[in-house]
Structure 1
Amino acid sequence: MQNDTETGPANHPATGRGLGVLLPTGSAQWGQGADPRELVPFALRAEQLGYDALFVNDSLLTPRIEALTMLAALAPVTRRATLGTGALLPFLRRPVQAAQALASIDLLSGGRLAVTVGAGFPGRFGQPLYTLSELPWERRFKRLDETVALWRQLWTADGPTSFHGEVLRFDDVPPSTRPFTPGGPPIWLGGATPAALARAGRLYDGWLPYPPDPADYRTGLTAVQEAATAAGRDAGSIAPALFVSVLVAADEASGRRAMDVYARANYGLGLEDLEQIQAVVIGPADRVTARLQQYRDAGARRLVVRLGALDLPAQYEQLELVADLASDLH
């Protein structure tokens, strides 16, 4: 599909309503008998409803459509929405090959890619992935930062280049695929530990955490901006985003029961445990709107919502409900 005149860098990386959706790429979110190819029309419907970002997450621990494969499928058929990762785990891929894949998606989308990255979490949601990738858990943050630095170098080099970091070392890398976006797509960081906040401010183009309390979001964003200023960067250039699980329900009690089922299916955690570590908003539309507005007031300009539903018909219903309430956010 040809991109129209509204497509491309003028709308990138975060303009319009500031509302994105995490696509239900995990098999637990499709429902039995569903066709995962339905994810493409689902994304198109989201764009039609006014969502201006389509995000995917990344893992090897549960069956899902691979993140970059999903974005490549969406690049030529979507028109305006930012295509994002939330979050990509670069250690799952060879770094030079990943640079080529990301540049290719940015080219195919006309410069609409935004890449949030992370290094994984301690425990069963992170460390086993390093074992599968045959990489050490130690120095994972240094590996992540150097991978991003390597990508940026490959995306801007005029010819063969070498990279000598503390963890990554490459000599005579051939010329790489150039992204559509000059300098490469923006790269955001997930995470909200003190070290992550400092690194986001020093090295990254945006911040995508999921703190359970809006007050913690405000405090974290201040720390990111202070780190940016201390590093001689423009603090206002760092995109402030939020990853949040949302379920619009007739009442809070029924919504909590449904989200508890969702949390157990996707994480093996009950809702009460999930709420301790992630932003979760449940209830009637007015309550959901008020809670999301608190995050907006705390500084989040991009909301990436994960819809708490376990089959595609319910995902479509939630997609419509959240789109309706978004007009009341400011």
Structure 2
Amino acid sequence: MDIGVYLPTGQAQWAAAGPRSLIEFARRAEQSGFCSLFVNDSLLTPRIEPLTMLAAVAPVTERIRLGTGALLPVLRRPVQTAQTLASVDQLSGGRLTVAVGAGFPGRFGRPLHELSQVPWERRFARLDETVALWRALWAGATEFRGAFHSFTELPPATRPFRTEGPPVWLGGATPAALARTGRHYDGWMPYPPDPADYATGLAAVRAAARQAGRAPESVTPALFVNVRIDRSARSARRVMDAYTRANYGLPLAETERIQAFALGTPQEVAATLARYTAAGAHHLVARLGALEPPDQLEQLDRLAAVTNLGST
């Protein structure tokens, strides 16, 4: 099993120490044995832009995988984004993984499309086509024809470090997203609150992959999970509640109906993560429930201990 962690790129998380503290966090994560560093994406809260963050981290790390989870392609022009992603893959020596999403209804979906002046309708088809355009550019295509993007002449593109380009994962757990993951994507990175839903979703992804003539095991089963390790479940919930209010403007009780959480003592957190791995998750990426940099580093160390990273 692979264990990764999110960089705390939201301004509320690094304001006390400054954004350069994120570089130290990245180095510490690699030294502690984590296999990946992920960044998330939004225009609705102040944060360090994710691809800028990964470009900064790439030269100061050596082996840890760098990822987006989830990048929102609607916020960027597709040809330029393909070049940026290829550049980060080159700078990192082929360590980039790109998890993408299309947003979801409500306060975290439609406003992003409005800011980007892109229609909300057919957002999933637009996402799939954008990824197809990226892959075509990385493969050296000189033209592309689609429903949303058409180019009769494409200039030579920046090639990724790897010939096939970075793996592209999809975040999402609707029936349509599961089918699309199995047909088109290299990995699946949802955040279901119930491990049983993860198992059901993964089975659907693998069935779709088989129907598309792909090997089911070619789709990496990943998980985005919020983690807080504390002296008691009550204490962990109190701190995580402050975190979700700062990050989303939502209380924990509301957020945990949407996302996966592992909260409590080291034993309780380990047990929750084990339920997801039993459901089939192979790559867990934890977002630490900590607003202050010293607490973030403490949580990083606790998670490394809980997952036995030091012994691997």
TM-score range, shorter chain: over 0.9
Contact 2:16 2:293 in 1 (8 A): no
1:197 maps onto 2:181 in alignment:
no
SS at 1:173 equivalent? coil
| Counterpart in the other structure of 2:291 | 310
Identity across aligned pairs (percent)?
64
Matches within 5 A, 1:266-285: 266-285=247-266
Work out which of the residue numbers 276, 296, 301 in structure 2 matches 1:295: 276
RMSD: 1.3
What's the CA shift string for 1:256-286, capped at 9, x where partnerless?
1111111111111111111100001110000
SS at 1:114 equivalent? strand
Contact 2:244 2:250 in 1 (8 A): yes
Matches within 5 A, 1:1-330: 17-30=1-14, 32-157=15-140, 161-327=142-308
SS at 2:46 equivalent? coil
| Counterpart in the other structure of 1:4 | none
SS at 1:236 equivalent? helix
Cα distance in 2 between the residues matched to 1:171 and 1:67: 30
What's the CA shift string for 1:10-64, capped at 9, x where partnerless?
xxxxxxx50000000001122x532111101110000000001000000000000
What's the CA shift string for 1:67-119, capped at 9, x where partnerless?
00000001111111110000000111110000000000001111000000000
Instruction: For residue 171 of structure 1, report the CA deviation from its aligned partner.
Output: 1.9
- Runs of 4+ off more than 4 Å: none
SS at 2:99 equivalent? strand
SS at 1:304 equivalent? strand
Cα distance in 1 between the residues matched to 2:49 and 2:55: 10
TM-score scaled by length of structure 2: 0.98
Q: How many residues of Structure 1 are paired with residues of Structure 2 in the alignment?
A: 311
What's the CA shift string for 1:216-254, capped at 9, x where partnerless?
000000000000000000110110000000000100111
TM-score scaled by length of structure 1: 0.92
SS at 2:83 equivalent? helix
| Counterpart in the other structure of 1:5 | none
